[in-house]
């Protein structure tokens, strides 16, 4: 038996007035996904427990078959696993966004999608700046991809409290005052200091001067969030008896792959943005079936479109997933005899809100040896009548294996 889970990150939405109260899933041309719904079974699935934030870290941990209430420690540690960052006792790993601050506001949570080369230079400079100016500084910056980086802070005395600090994701308050999000308890003074001091360090850096000259937003500050200590997750093969592979352009999901014992497949052109190479992801997914029992295919583009409030790109992303990923998978899977393929978002990222919500999301499961329900298309409303009913995210793998 072969299993595939395709995660259309943030694809579900709320009714949008601009398209007569429909959603991107309702207006997108997605014949393969509709076929999976029509010939399979559908329902709703809740990937985010009520008392945890509706982030991709929590939601995808559920989809990978792990109860976040038992294993979730924060987003940063998962990305650290992906990047090969070694940690020690007392380390707290923060997600570190390169941002644009303007007149005290969060002008951009990604510094206009700064390049990896530019941001790496800025991360290296921040390490140099803090080490030279503050010799006792306890933190270190690690460059990642585009605006997604890490900051590891060692504080054995306060590590547990810092891991539970309420840090607001930067994409949740674009256009709002930064000062309002910096009211921390005293034990986190150095975290606040690090963010504010980064503005002094970066404002006049040559990278930013060049960006301004070229009419682009500067990366003049960092924002820390999504922190935690390293999780202790059992391997997927030990829990479910499945050898797995993961395809994604996002360090967070790669980190889940590593922590769950799956193999991360590096796909050329997987950018985790609108320009990601959908065709290459589809080809790698098909090839991964040969040597793996289960393949996770994660596509970030719908989520990025939701954050950008870009309806056109969100619809385009859903259509590209259908054409270049779902179509070749549905063509290849019958070669292996019995198979199941599940398609779902991890969480909604509604266009009108520009951020994640914790609503249940639609799911469709096609099985080579199971009957269909009466649902004919895949969208947020149609699946409510599906035979799967309402599911809990971390039980998805158990359901597939039944």
Range of the domain at 241: 2-71+232-401
pTM across the whole model: 0.83
Segment 270-282 shows an average pLDDT of 95
Q: Which residues pair with 92 in a beta bridge?
A: 153
- Average of pLDDT values for 284-306? 98
31 and 139 assigned to the same domain: no
Q: Per the domain annotation, does 218 fall within a domain?
A: yes
pLDDT in the model for residue 86 = 87
- The number of beta carbons lying within 10 Å of the beta carbon of residue 154 is 14
Count: domains in the chain: 2
Residue 215, in any domain of the structure: yes
On whether residue 21 sits in a domain, the answer given is yes
Do 223 and 239 share a domain, yes or no?
Answer: no
List C-alpha distances in Å: 232 to 81, 235, 258, 260. Answer: 12, 10, 11, 9
- Boundary of a domain, candidates 228, 252, 267: 228
Higher-confidence position of 40 and 172 = 40
The predicted pLDDT at position 183 comes to: 87
Q: Are 245 and 391 members of one domain?
A: yes
What is the distance between the alpha carbons of residues 4 and 287, in angstroms, rounded to a whole number? 12
Q: For residue 164, name the pLDDT band (cuts at 50, 70, 90).
A: confident
Average pLDDT, rounded, for the chain: 96
For residues 237 and 362, membership in a common domain is answered with yes
- Specify the DSSP element, H or E, that contains 247: strand 244-247
Do 56 and 180 lie in one domain? The reply is: no
Mean pLDDT, range 199-206, rounded to an integer: 97
394 and 296 assigned to the same domain? yes
Q: Is the pLDDT score of 75 beyond 90? A: no
Same domain, 298 and 346: yes
Residues 352 and 376 in one domain: yes
Give 376's pLDDT tier (boundaries 50, 70, 90): very high
* Burial status of residue 103 (CB atoms within 10 A of its CB: 0-12, 13-18, 19 or more): exposed
Q: Quick check: is 95 in a domain?
A: yes
Distances (CA, A) of 377 to 5, 36, 374: 18, 8, 10
Same-domain pairing of 310 and 211: no
If one counts every other C-beta atom within 10 angstroms of the C-beta of residue 182, the result is 16
As a three-state string, the secondary structure of 285-340 is HHHHCCCCCEEEEEECHHHHHHHCCCHHHHHHHHHHHHHHHHHHHHHHHHHHCCEE
Average pLDDT on 351-373 reads 96
Span 358-377, average pLDDT = 96
Flag whether 342 is in a domain: yes
Q: Are residues 128 and 188 in the same domain?
A: yes
Q: Is the pLDDT of residue 246 over 90?
A: yes
Name the DSSP letter for residue 371: -
Q: What is the pLDDT of residues 123-138, one digit of tens each?
A: 999 999 999 999 999 9
The pLDDT of residue 184 is 85
Check whether 397 has a pLDDT greater than 90.
yes
Q: What distance in Å separates the CA atoms of residue 263 and residue 248, rounded to the nearest whole number? A: 11
| Residue that finishes a domain, picked among 209, 228, 247 | 228
| Stretch among 171-185, 195-209, 323-337, 374-388 having the lowest mean pLDDT | 171-185
Q: What percent of the chain has pLDDT over 90?
A: 91
pLDDT tens by residue, 234-245: 999 999 999 999
Please say if the pLDDT value at position 338 is more than 90. yes
Q: Give me the CATH number covering residue 363.
A: 3.40.720.10
Residue 336 has pLDDT above 90, yes or no: yes
Average of per-residue pLDDT across 167-179: 93
Q: Is residue 77 part of a domain?
A: no
Q: Are 390 and 270 in the same domain?
A: yes
Residue 206 has pLDDT above 90, yes or no: yes
Residue 21: predicted pLDDT:
98
23-37, 72-86, 139-153, 193-207: least confidently modelled range: 72-86
For the segment 84-88, the average pLDDT, to the nearest whole number, is 89
Q: What is the pLDDT of residue 127?
A: 98
* Cα–Cα distance measured from residue 381 to residue 386, given in angstroms and rounded to the nearest whole number: 10
Residue at 24 is within a domain: yes
Which of 6, 4, 3 lies closest to 302, judged by CA? Answer: 6
pLDDT, position 313: 98
Residues 223, 118 share a domain? yes
Above 90 in pLDDT, residue 36? yes
Residue 160 pLDDT exceeds 90: no
Q: Which residue, of 228, 255, 282, is where some domain finishes? A: 228
């Amino acid at each position: 038996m072969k299993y595939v889970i395709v995660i259309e990150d943030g694809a579900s939405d709320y009714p949008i007035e601009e398209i007569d109260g429909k959603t991107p899933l309702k207006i997108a041309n997605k014949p393969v996904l509709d076929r999976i719904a029509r010939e399979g079974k559908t329902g709703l699935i809740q990937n985010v427990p009520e008392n945890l934030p509706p982030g991709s870290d929590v939601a995808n941990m559920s989809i990978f078959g792990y109860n976040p209430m038992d294993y979730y420690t924060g987003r940063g540690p998962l990305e650290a696993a992906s990047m090969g960052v070694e940690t020690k006792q007392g380390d707290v790993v923060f997600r570190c966004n390169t941002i644009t601050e303007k007149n005290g506001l969060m002008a951009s949570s990604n510094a206009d999608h700064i390049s990896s080369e530019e941001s790496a230079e800025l991360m290296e400079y921040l390490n140099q700046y803090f080490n030279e100016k503050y010799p006792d500084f306890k933190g270190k910056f690690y460059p990642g991809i585009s605006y997604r980086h890490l900051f590891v802070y060692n504080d054995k005395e306060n590590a547990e409290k810092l891991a539970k600090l309420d840090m607001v994701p930067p994409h949740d308050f674009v256009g709002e005052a930064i000062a309002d999000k910096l009211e921390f308890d005293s034990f986190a003074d150095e975290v606040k200091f690090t963010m504010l001091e980064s503005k002094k360090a970066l404002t006049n850096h040559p990278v930013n001067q060049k960006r301004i000259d070229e009419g682009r937003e500067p990366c003049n500050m960092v924002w820390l969030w999504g922190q935690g200590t390293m999780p202790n997750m059992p391997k997927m093969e030990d829990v479910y008896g499945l050898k797995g592979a993961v395809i994604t352009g996002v360090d967070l999901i790669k980190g889940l792959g590593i922590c769950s014992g799956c193999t991360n497949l590096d796909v050329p052109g997987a950018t985790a943005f609108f320009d990601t190479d959908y065709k290459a992801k589809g080809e790698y997914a098909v090839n991964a079936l040969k040597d793996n029992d289960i393949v996770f295919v994660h596509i970030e583009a719908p989520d990025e479109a939701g954050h950008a409030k870009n309806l056109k790109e969100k619809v385009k992303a859903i259509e590209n997933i259908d054409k270049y990923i779902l179509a070749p998978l549905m063509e290849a899977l019958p070669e292996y005899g019995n198979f199941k393929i599940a398609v779902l978002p991890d969480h909604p990222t509604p266009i009108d809100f520009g951020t994640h919500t914790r609503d249940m999301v639609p799911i469709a499961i096609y099985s080579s040896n199971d009957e269909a329900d009466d649902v004919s298309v895949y969208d947020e409303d149609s699946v409510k009548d599906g035979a799967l009913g309402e599911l809990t995210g971390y039980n998805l793998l158990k359901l597939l294996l039944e």
